[in-house]
């Protein structure tokens, strides 16, 4: 195994009605002037934004609000938030939403720490962040894990570039996680979230080295748990225990716990999906499901021991002497079956997009631009590999 740094300072407050504690937590982390950031109309209609504002008022906290964050959050909204925050001397960001809202808040928080500089430079890897204002969240979607992770993904809606920037200084100070707040999500969003959660762990699982038994045990247990409760939620979206299992899994899947000791992980599936998200604005988790089986079949022979272990420990494939190749492929096939059972696509056609070959080449070029010319651990992918996988995934 490799050495690692593990740093997850976010205070998680988990359970029913925990959003009532938001004012106290803002105070605990030294905030006094709050930008309440959120997405669409559902957070308003449900009354959540009002409840949050009441909790802030009860602590005598100044607050302004900015809604309208979209999935694959836009750089333009980040710039709007930066201006609003500066005008109002904001000292803490409160994201009420899922990964898109939290990431948009993180981007604003980076910008406020270096107000003279363009925050997009971080995502273009032109510089490193020197600071970040504090961020907290009231989570309403279990998926991205951004509520405890160091990652932030923003889409430049003018260029179509979807780019990430990861830095521990952006890890949120607190995360309020009430599973009840996720109960009204449409099933497609719930299951896309489950797919994203699993993929955050699978990206760390399919590697060439550095694996640690304890990390593997945690990863496999997490994947089994998410599969079990994703199916339950597909039938009963109001199941509190299932919502809670998925919500907590969403944080643990991406706070680095499931990658301790490894070589940094693969993350090629995320790279492949980011281009779909940038060009076609698909739902992130569904986009991952649409590319993963093709990625897996393209790379598995280069990472056979991991695919065999995955098939046996996660997908329940019995070793009856059929050989590694057959075991690995059966594991991939069962994952496709699982995706179908929860209403997820297994290719781009099922995802509802049909890129031309020119578009595939453009996506591959953009992916290589974002990744410095290569990506992956299970198998290191170059431009031709990326084109091949996109074509397989049509």
Quote the least distance from Cβ 104 to a copy of itself, whole Å. 25
Which one of 91, 103, 196, 245 is in contact with a copy of itself (CB under 8 A)?
Answer: 245
The footprint of a copy of itself on this chain (CB under 8 A) covers a number of residues equal to: 37
Quote the least distance from Cβ 219 to a copy of itself, whole Å. 9
Q: Is residue 183 within the footprint of a copy of itself (CB under 8 A)?
A: no
Question: What is the C-alpha to C-alpha distance for residues 131 and 3, in angstroms, rounded to an integer?
Answer: 26
Site string for a copy of itself, 221-240 (x = CB under 8 A): xx-xx--xx-----------
**β 135-139/33-38 pair status:** unpaired
Quote the DSSP letter at residue 257: G
Which one of 51, 67, 248, 361 is in contact with a copy of itself (CB under 8 A)?
Answer: 248
Q: Is residue 150 within the footprint of a copy of itself (CB under 8 A)?
A: no
Q: Which residues pair with 153 in a beta bridge?
A: 164
3-class secondary-structure state, position 381: strand
Q: Which of 363-380 are b and which e, b meaning 16 or more Cβ less than 10 Å from the residue's Cβ?
A: bbebbbebbeeebbbbbe
Which one of 41, 130, 214, 318 is in contact with a copy of itself (CB under 8 A)?
Answer: 214
Q: Is residue 11 within the footprint of a copy of itself (CB under 8 A)?
A: yes
Residues between 260 and 299 with contacts to a copy of itself, criterion CB under 8 A: 260-261
Is the CB of 188 or the CB of 248 nearer to a copy of itself? 248
**Which has the closest alpha carbon to 391: 352, 351, 364?**
364
Quote the least distance from Cβ 213 to a copy of itself, whole Å. 5
Are 274 and 152 in contact by the 8 Å Cβ rule? The answer is no
Question: Around 187, how many Cα atoms within 13 Å sit in the side-chain half-sphere?
Answer: 14
Per CB under 8 A, the segment of 39-47, 61-69, 104-112, 243-251 that binds a copy of itself is 243-251
Question: What is the C-alpha to C-alpha distance for residues 215 and 379, in angstroms, rounded to an integer?
Answer: 21
Other CB atoms within a 10 A radius of the CB of residue 303 amount to 21
Is the CB of 18 or the CB of 104 nearer to a copy of itself? 18
Is the CB of 82 or the CB of 223 nearer to a copy of itself? 223
Residues with Cβ within 8 Å of residue 242, at least 6 apart in sequence: 229, 232, 233, 236
Q: Is residue 252 within the footprint of a copy of itself (CB under 8 A)?
A: yes
Is the CB of 100 or the CB of 149 nearer to a copy of itself? 149
Site string for a copy of itself, 16-55 (x = CB under 8 A): x-x-------------------------------------
Is the CB of 13 or the CB of 96 nearer to a copy of itself? 13
Q: Is residue 249 within the footprint of a copy of itself (CB under 8 A)?
A: yes
Is the CB of 6 or the CB of 319 nearer to a copy of itself? 6
Are 148 and 254 in contact by the 8 Å Cβ rule? The answer is yes
Quote the least distance from Cβ 105 to a copy of itself, whole Å. 20
Quote the least distance from Cβ 301 to a copy of itself, whole Å. 26
Q: Which of 4-39 are b and which e, b meaning 16 or more Cβ less than 10 Å from the residue's Cβ?
A: eeeeeebebbeeeebbbbbbebbeebebeebbbbbb
Question: What is the C-alpha to C-alpha distance for residues 189 and 100, in angstroms, rounded to an integer?
Answer: 13
Per CB under 8 A, the segment of 1-9, 282-290, 350-358, 369-377 that binds a copy of itself is 1-9
The radius of gyration computed from the CA coordinates of the chain, to the nearest angstrom, equals 20
Quote the least distance from Cβ 377 to a copy of itself, whole Å. 18
Question: What is the C-alpha to C-alpha distance for residues 288 and 292, in angstroms, rounded to an integer?
Answer: 6
3-class secondary-structure state, position 165: strand
Question: What is the C-alpha to C-alpha distance for residues 196 and 145, in angstroms, rounded to an integer?
Answer: 9
Are 325 and 224 in contact by the 8 Å Cβ rule? The answer is no
Which one of 44, 70, 212, 394 is in contact with a copy of itself (CB under 8 A)?
Answer: 212
Rounded (10°) CA dihedral 224, 165, 90, 23 = 10
Are 210 and 1 in contact by the 8 Å Cβ rule? The answer is yes
Are 106 and 135 in contact by the 8 Å Cβ rule? The answer is yes
Q: Is residue 9 within the footprint of a copy of itself (CB under 8 A)?
A: yes
User: Hey, what are 134's tokens?
Assistant: 């504090």
Quote the least distance from Cβ 211 to a copy of itself, whole Å. 10
Per CB under 8 A, the segment of 5-13, 80-88, 136-144, 379-387 that binds a copy of itself is 5-13
**Site residues for a copy of itself per CB under 8 A:** 1-9, 11-16, 18, 212-214, 217-218, 220-222, 224-225, 228-229, 241, 244-245, 248-249, 252, 257, 260-261
């Amino acid at each position: 195994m490799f050495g690692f740094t593990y740093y997850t300072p976010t205070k998680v407050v988990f359970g029913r009605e925990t959003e009532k504690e938001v004012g106290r937590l803002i105070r605990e982390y030294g905030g006094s002037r709050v930008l309440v950031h959120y997405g669409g109309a559902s957070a308003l209609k449900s009354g959540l934004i009002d409840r949050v504002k009441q909790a802030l008022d009860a602590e005598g906290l100044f607050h302004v609000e900015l809604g309208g964050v979209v999935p694959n959050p836009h750089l333009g909204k980040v710039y709007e938030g930066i201006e609003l925050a500066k005008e109002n001397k904001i000292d803490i960001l409160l994201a009420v939403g899922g990964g898109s809202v939290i990431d948009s808040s993180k981007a604003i928080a980076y910008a406020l720490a270096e107000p003279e500089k363009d925050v997009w430079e971080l995502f273009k890897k032109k510089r490193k962040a020197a600071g970040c204002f504090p961020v907290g969240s009231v989570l309403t979607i279990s998926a991205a894990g951004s509520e405890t992770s160091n990652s932030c993904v923003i889409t430049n809606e003018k260029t179509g570039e979807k780019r990430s920037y990861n830095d521990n200084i952006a890890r949120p100070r607190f995360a309020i996680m009430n599973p009840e707040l996720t109960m009204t999500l449409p099933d497609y969003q719930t299951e896309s979230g489950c797919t994203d959660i699993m993929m955050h762990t699978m990206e760390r699982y399919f590697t060439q080295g550095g694996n640690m038994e304890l990390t593997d045990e945690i990863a496999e247990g997490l994947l089994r748990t998410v599969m079990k409760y994703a199916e339950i939620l597909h039938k009963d979206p109001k199941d509190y225990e299932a919502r809670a299992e998925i919500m907590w899994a969403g944080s643990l899947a991406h706070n680095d716990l499931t990658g301790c000791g490894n070589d940094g992980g693969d993350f090629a599936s995320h790279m492949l999906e980011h281009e779909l998200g940038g060009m076609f604005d698909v739902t992130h988790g569904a986009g991952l499901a649409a590319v993963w089986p093709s990625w897996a079949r393209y790379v598995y022979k280069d990472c056979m021991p991991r695919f065999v272990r995955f098939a046996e420990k996660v997908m329940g494939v019995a070793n009856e002497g059929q050989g590694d190749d057959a075991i690995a492929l059966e594991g991939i096939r069962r994952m496709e079956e699982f995706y179908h059972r929860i209403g997820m696509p297994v290719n781009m056609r099922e995802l509802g997009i049909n890129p031309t070959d020119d578009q595939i080449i453009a996506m591959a070029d953009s992916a290589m631009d974002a990744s410095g010319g290569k990506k992956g651990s299970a198998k290191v992918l170059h431009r031709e590999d990326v084109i091949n996988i996109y074509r397989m995934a049509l």
